[in-house]
Amino acid sequence: MSASTDMTKPGGYKRTTVFLLGSILPLALLVFWQVLGGLGVISTLLFPTPVTIAKAFGKLAATGELWEHFRISVARAALGFILGGGFGLLCGILAGLFRRTERAFDPTIQMLRMVPSLAVAPLFVIWFGIGEESKVLLIAKGAFFPLYINAFLGIRNVDNKLFEVARVLGFSRLKQLIRLVIPAALPNILLGVRLSVGISWLGLVVAELMASTSGIGYLMSDARQFSKTPVVFVGIIIFAVVGKLADSLVRLMERRWLKWRDNYQG
């Protein structure tokens, strides 16, 4: 596992090298973009240059407006993730542990999974109002399924031979759950967390596009109406960067908690 605490990776690369390797493509793109915009090859109205976008970002940040929208968006995504993801994890564990629960609930859950968020968004507004509830619940709906499916799969993939060991060692039901099932299913559960975090963050756009007056999604749709393209780009960049950071956080957890794994590392 690349969780080694020293600075060298198995392949002999330093962390900074790895970081630089990942930055080459976006940096080259930015330079290319700025040059093309400066030369007038592409319309700066449709594609404001990176410098213009940076200025717009600076202006929004200076007034504190950006921070306010950002804070609200993150709170919505986090709450939606905790609610939907937590419930998904619980349901996935229950369905994974008990065949009867699976038979009773899984078909319904799979049907609900296939209903697009955009299709139910108007209904959520009618049911829960245009306040925070409908937005958070819409995000929660998206975050539920990846954790549900992966927790379920993780539990069903636990080696039966280890269950036999647990029986021979006289594990109680509770110990079987916390010392065998959960750790063995953890790789799948963390994958579910990763997917759920992503979906929660993406779900913000749908949630904040419907009758919203705050959040990064609102900031973008508002800017679009007034053709403030640089602000739209600021929103896009925030989505990309924060999404990547959240994803990295989960991967950090994976590295820490799954260092016992013995898999091909590329």
- Could you tell me which stretch among 100-108, 144-152, 159-167, 188-196 binds other proteins (CB under 8 A)? 159-167
14 phi and psi, to 5 degrees?
-85, 160
> What would the two tokens of residue 187 be?
């790789």
Q: Which of 5, 62, 114, 262 binds other proteins (CB under 8 A)?
A: 262
169 binds other proteins (CB under 8 A): yes
Cβ partners under 8 Å of residue 173, min gap 6: none
CB of residue 156 vs other proteins: minimum separation in angstroms? 18
Closest CA to 89 of 152, 142, 141: 152
CB of residue 90 vs other proteins: minimum separation in angstroms? 22
Q: Which of 15, 71, 175, 251 binds other proteins (CB under 8 A)?
A: 175
161 binds other proteins (CB under 8 A): yes
172 binds other proteins (CB under 8 A): yes
32 binds other proteins (CB under 8 A): no
How many residues form the binding site for other proteins (CB under 8 A)?
A: 22
Q: Which of 12, 40, 170, 266 binds other proteins (CB under 8 A)?
A: 170
125 phi and psi, to 5 degrees?
-65, -40
168 binds other proteins (CB under 8 A): yes
- Give the per-residue contact string, 200-239, with other proteins (x = CB under 8 A; - = no): ----------------------------------------
Question: Rule CB under 8 A: which residues touch other proteins?
Answer: 161-162, 164-172, 175, 179-180, 183-184, 186, 258-262
